[in-house]
Structure 1
Amino acid sequence: MLIADLDGLKTHYRDDGDPHGHAVVFANSLGTDLRLWDKVIDRLPKSLRLIRYDMRGHGLTDVLDPPYSMGALISDAEALIDHLGVKNCVFVGLSIGGLIAQGLAVKRMDLVRAMVLSNTAAKIGTVQTWQTRIDTVATDGFDSIADTVMEMWFGKEFRRTPELSAWRAMLARQPIKGYVGCCAAIAGTDFYTTTASLTLPTLAIAGSEDGSTPPDLVRETAELIKGAKFQLIKGAGHVPCVDKPEEYAETLTTFLTEIGHI
Structure 2
Amino acid sequence: MQFTDIDGVTLHFAHRPVAGRRHLVFINALGTDFRIWNAVTEVLGDDVSTLVYDKRGHGLSDLGTTPYSIEDHVDDLAGLIDRLGIEDVALCGLSVGGLVAQGLYARRPELVSGLVLCDTAHKIGTQESWNARIATVKKDGIEAIADAVMKAWFTPGFHAQRTNELAGCRNMLVRQNVDGYIATCVALREADYTGVAASIAAPTLCVAGDQDGSTPPDLVRSLADLIAGSRFEVIADAGHIPCIERPEALAALLHAFLADLPAGN
Q: TM-score range by the shorter chain?
A: over 0.9
Paired residue secondary structure (1:44): helix
Q: Take 1:5 and 1:183, find their aligned partners in 2: how far apart are those partners?
A: 23
Q: Is the 8 A contact 1:208 1:234 kept in 2?
A: yes
- Write out aligned runs for 1:82-97 (5 A): 82-97=82-97
Structure 2 equivalent of residue 185 of structure 1: 187
Q: TM-score, normalized by length of structure 1?
A: 0.97
Q: Note the 1:167-246 alignment, pairs <5 A.
A: 167-246=169-248
The corresponding residue for 2:64 is 64
RMSD of the TM alignment (CA)? 1.2
1:89–1:111 Cα contact (<8 Å) kept = yes
Contact 1:65 1:181 in 2 (8 A): no
Which residue is 2:38 aligned to? 38
Give me the whole-angstrom Cα distance separating, in 1, the residues matched to 2:48 and 2:165. Answer: 28
Amino acid at match of 2:186: A
1:4 shift after superposition: 1.1
Moved more, 211-220 or 190-199: 190-199
Identity %: 44
Determine the C-alpha separation between the residues in 1 that align with 2:243 and 2:123: 21
**2:91 maps to 1:79:** no
CA deviation after TM superposition for structure 1 residue 210, in Å: 0.2
Q: Distance in 2 between matches of 1:234 and 1:212?
A: 16
Q: Is 1:145 equivalent to 2:165 in the alignment?
A: no
Between 211-220 and 41-50, the greater mean CA deviation after superposition: 41-50
Match of 1:54 in 2: 54
Instruction: Verify the 8 A CA contact 2:24 2:89 in the aligned structure 1.
Output: yes
The count of corresponding residues between Structure 1 and Structure 2 is 262
Q: Which amino acid aligns with 2:48?
A: L
Which structure shows the higher helix fraction?
Answer: 2
Cα deviation 1:119-166 (Å, max 9, x = unaligned): 000000011211111110111012210000000001111112121000
Contact 1:11 1:55 in 2 (8 A): yes
Measure how far apart 1:261 and its partner are. Answer: 5.8
- 2-structure distance, mates of 1:203, 1:86: 22
Q: Name stretches of at least 5 consecutive residues in structure 2 with no aligned partner.
A: none
> 1:230 deviation in Å?
0.5
**What is the SS of the residue equivalent to 2:181?**
helix
Q: Secondary structure at the match of 1:145?
A: helix
> Secondary structure, in 3 states, of the residue corresponding to 1:42?
helix
Q: TM-score, normalised by structure 2?
A: 0.96
CA apart distance, 1:110: 2.0
